[in-house]
Structures are given as C-alpha cells and as structure tokens.
Amino acid sequence: MPRWPFSFSQKSPATAEGATDSTRNPETAPTTRQAIRRIAFVAVVYLLVFVPGCALVRHWLPFPEVSMVREKIEHFIRHGDDYDIIFIGSSRVHSQVIPAIFDKIAAANGVPVKSYNAGIAGMVSPEDSYVLDQLLRVSHRRLRWVFLEVQRLRTVLEQEQTSRSAYWHDTTRFLLVARRLFGQAIENQAQLGKESTFSARCGVWTTMAGRLCGHARYWFMREINLGCGTEVLVRWLELPGSHEDNGRSSKEKDAGWSPSRGAIQQMVGEGRARYERAYADRLAEPAVKDRGDAVSQESLEHMLAAVAKAGAKAVLIIPPTPVARNFYPTVEREKELTILDFTDVHQNRELFIPEHRIDEDHINTTGAQFFTEDLARRFVELVKPHPQAP
C-alpha cells in the first residue's frame, strides 16, 4: 500500500507514484547553475509570501504577552480611565511602591489621586519602555503622572529561552539592544588596549556576537508570531490549570502591588555582610551620578517622549540601593526633569537599615511602606501648588 507522495509517509521516493517534477528525471536533470538558480528563485518566492504573511498575522494576533504583563495590561484596559498615576519599573517598583499607602498619604496632604503599580518583577530596560508603550495605548483619560524607574539598558541574555525574554523584542527595542551591544564591544576593546592578546580581543567580539544572535533570535520569534495560535487555542479549550499559570496573580494586592518573595525576610550571613560593606561605603561617600551610555539615555528619552505624547508628566525614580554608581539622565535633561532620588543614605536612613532590606537591591515590606510614604510626600511637595498639572 504505497502512500507516497502526498500522504507524506516516509516511504522512499523510489517507490513513489506521481513523482513527476523535473528533479526526479535524470534525463532532464538540471545543471549546477540551473539548480542554484532554481533554489534561489524558490527561496525568493518563499520569502515574498512568508514575510508579508507573518506581518499580516501579527496585525491580528499580537505576540503572546507573558501572564504577569498581560494581567497588568488587561487590568489597565478595564480600569485605565480610573487612574491618575502609574508606576513603571522592576521589582524595585512592583514590590516597593504600595498604591494604597501612596494614595492615602497624597489625599491626606490635599492631593487626591488614584495610582496603579504597573511594575513587574525582573523588568529591565528596554522591556520597561515596551510595557509603557502598551499601557499608554489603552484609554487613560485621567492619567497625569507616570513614575518611571531609571534603569540602564540591559543586554545580558537570560539562560532560559522563555516568552518573557522574547515578547518585548520588537524592532525598536531590538535595534536599541543591538546598538548598545556594539557600543559595549567597542568600549571593551578600547579598555583592553593595544597590548591585549588576540584571543582577548576575539573574546570581546564573540561575546557580542553571541548576545546579538540571542536577541536577534527573540526578535525573529516575535516577528514570526511564534506560539500565538497555541495561546488562542489553549484559551479556547479552557484547559484545567491554564488560568493558574501566574502564581503571583492571586497574591497581588490592590492596584498592581504585591509583596516580594521573602517580604518579611531579613538579610543574614554573607549577604548581610556584603550589604553592610556597601552601606558603609555609601555612608562614607555618596553614589556617583553616572550618565551612562548614549543608548540607555536614548531608551529613557523614548519613554519620556511616550509619556509626554500621552499628555502626562514623567517623574523619574531612583530607588534606594547602595550601589557606587547610579544611572542618571544627562545633565541637560536633569534640569528639565523631575527626579526623585532615594540613593542618599543619610537622607533615607529608614530605607537602608539592614532590617528593612531583603538584599542589596531590594527592601522588604516594612521598608516598602517607608519608601511609599516618602515617595508620596515628595510627590505632594512637587505638585501641591498645581495639583492638576500638567
């Protein structure tokens, strides 16, 4: 029962019926040049259909957002018109800014607002700018202020390939990352100097190429709509457990905030010793304002422009961490922007005492309460003369 060819069974083409194309007939076998021309022609036709096809599908089916991002966006779709303020950033925003406390303090000081924490754990630049773009597409009639965590553009790839790593790799963000990677390679090459070994110099470029390929792969995955259909199908099938994919969702408290894992945990052992060293350093010498690289600045500019376009005002937050160098906007922009810097260990003692911290980068829930109160007070100072600004 030979079923080749259309059945695509694994039977040999030698036993195939209907094998009539010219490649199968040695009499009309093409020359090498003809074969190459034919392959090239087929490849071109393939791409001419494939590329617009993917673009068309992407128009209808956006790349699957990861559950925690989707949740935020879906919430904003439902309630976007209710909020005056949104906070965007990593876990340093997601777990450290408590909207209920913020709103309460602001209202008590004569600035009644409703805020939403759109921070997401592990969200780095330029993922934050992508999420901001998505949120600002949603109707947001009351939105007046957008608090943005200032972050350097990150080019390091996660070990594991996940939707989370891929979803934000649109062309804009991919090009930013690619430019930063080239910039980093040139900087590293310059740092090595002329006396460095050939392998060290090669290492710089191979690392860059490896990371670039990784990001390019994510960009490609996004462009070809990888997995969009499965997402739709799984939702349609209502598979048991499919709606529980985000363990954090049930833990989310009000307005997007949720306590970080180990929220009441305190630092011990080596982690605490390391933190205390960094803390002591900052007590002795404040953190340096690092203007960073041009691409990180550009990514920040992109976010600021998006906020301005949405008719809101950007407020930049530099969360309390005892790092030696803090990324800052350029000097010119610094004057124009509103920056709430919490890195001064003398001014923000409560935020830096080890009992209020989980690690070097994060504060615990008690610390988060102090941080939010402080943030709200500074916000009130900022807007009190003109509560309806801008």
Partner 1 sequence: MLFVEFRFLVFFLVVFGVYWSLRGNSARKCWLLLCNYVFYSGFFIGDPEIFFEHVIQGQWGQLPAGWWFPTVLAASTCMDFAVGLGIGGASTDARRKAWLLVSLVVNVGVLSFFKYFNFFVSSASGFLEWFGLHTSLHTLQIILPYGVSFYTFQSMSYSIDVYRRRLEPVRRFLDLAFFISFFPQLVAGPIVRATIFLPQVFEKRRWADVDARGSVALFFVGFVKKACVSEFASQISDPFFAAPGKYSHTGALIAILFYSVQIYCDFSGYTDMAIATARLLGYELTLNFDFPFFSRSVSEFWRRWHISLSTWLRDYIYIPLGGNRGTKLFVWRNLLLTMLIGGLWHGAAWHYVVMGGLNGLALIIHREWAQLTENTGAIFNRVRSVLAYPLTCYWTLVTFIFFRAQAVYNAKTHALEATAMENACAVLKTISFIGRQGKLNLNLKCVAVLAVLAVVHWLNFHRVLGTQWRRLPDWACAALLALGSVIALLFVPVKYKPFVYFQF
Q: Under the rule (CB under 8 A), what is the footprint of partner 1? A: 3-14, 16-21, 23-24, 26, 29-30, 32, 35, 38, 41-43, 45-50, 53-54, 57, 61, 160-163, 166, 199, 203, 206-207, 210, 217, 220-221, 224-230, 233-234, 236-241
The least CB distance from residue 384 to partner 1, in Å, is 47
Please say which residue, 63 or 147, places its beta carbon nearer to partner 1.
63
Nearer to partner 1, 2 or 390 (CB): 2
- Nearest distance from residue 220's CB to partner 1, in Å? 7
Least distance from partner 1 to the Cβ atom of residue 362, Å: 24
Checking DSSP bridges between strand 313-318 and strand 338-341, what pairing results, if any? parallel
- The residue to which tokens 């022609």 are assigned: 41
3-state DSSP call for residue 153? strand
Instruction: Return the number of the residue (3 or 274) whose C-beta is nearest partner 1.
Output: 3
Q: Three-state secondary structure along the chain?
A: CCCCCCCCCCCCHHHCCCCCCHHHCHHHCCCHHHHHHHHHHHHHHHHHHHHHHHHHHHHHCCCCCCHHHHHHHHHHHHHHHHCCEEEECCHHHHCCCCHHHHHHHHHHCCCCCCEEECCCCCCCECHHHHHHHHHHHCCCCCCCEEEEECCCECCCCCCCCCHHHHCCCCHHHHHHHHHHHHHHHHHHHHHHCCCCCHHHHHHHHHHHHHHHHHHHHHHHHHHCCCCHHHHHHHHHHCCCCHHHCCCCHHHCCHHHCCCCCCCCCCCCHHHHHHHHHHHHHHHHCCCEEECCCHHHHHHHHHHHHHHHHCCCEEEEEECCCCCCEEECCCHHHHHHCEEEECCCCCCCHHHHCHHHECCCCCECHHHHHHHHHHHHHHHHHHHCCCCCCC
Nearer to partner 1, 235 or 277 (CB): 235
Closest contact distance (angstroms) between CB of 261 and partner 1 is 14
Report the distance separating Cα 37 and Cα 31, nearest Å.
10
Using the minimum distance from each CB to partner 1, give the nearer residue, 227 or 387.
Answer: 227
Nearer to partner 1, 126 or 214 (CB): 214
Q: How far is the CB of 119 from partner 1 (least distance, A)?
A: 23
Q: Which is nearer to partner 1, 41 or 261 (CB)?
A: 41
Shortest Cβ 7–partner 1 spacing (Å): 5
Measured from the CB atom, the residue of 28 and 388 that comes closer to partner 1 is 28
Give helix 365-383 / helix 99-108 axis angle, nearest 10°: 40
First to last CA, the chain: 77
Nearest approach, Cβ of residue 307 and partner 1 (Å): 30
User: Which residue lies nearer to partner 1 by CB, 36 or 280?
Assistant: 36
Min dist CB 236 to partner 1, Å, is 7
Nearest approach, Cβ of residue 218 and partner 1 (Å): 9
- The 10 Å Cβ neighbour count of residue 309 is 9
Q: Which residue's CB is nearer to partner 1, number 199 or number 250?
A: 199
Rounded to a whole number of angstroms, the minimum distance from the CB of residue 305 to partner 1 is 30
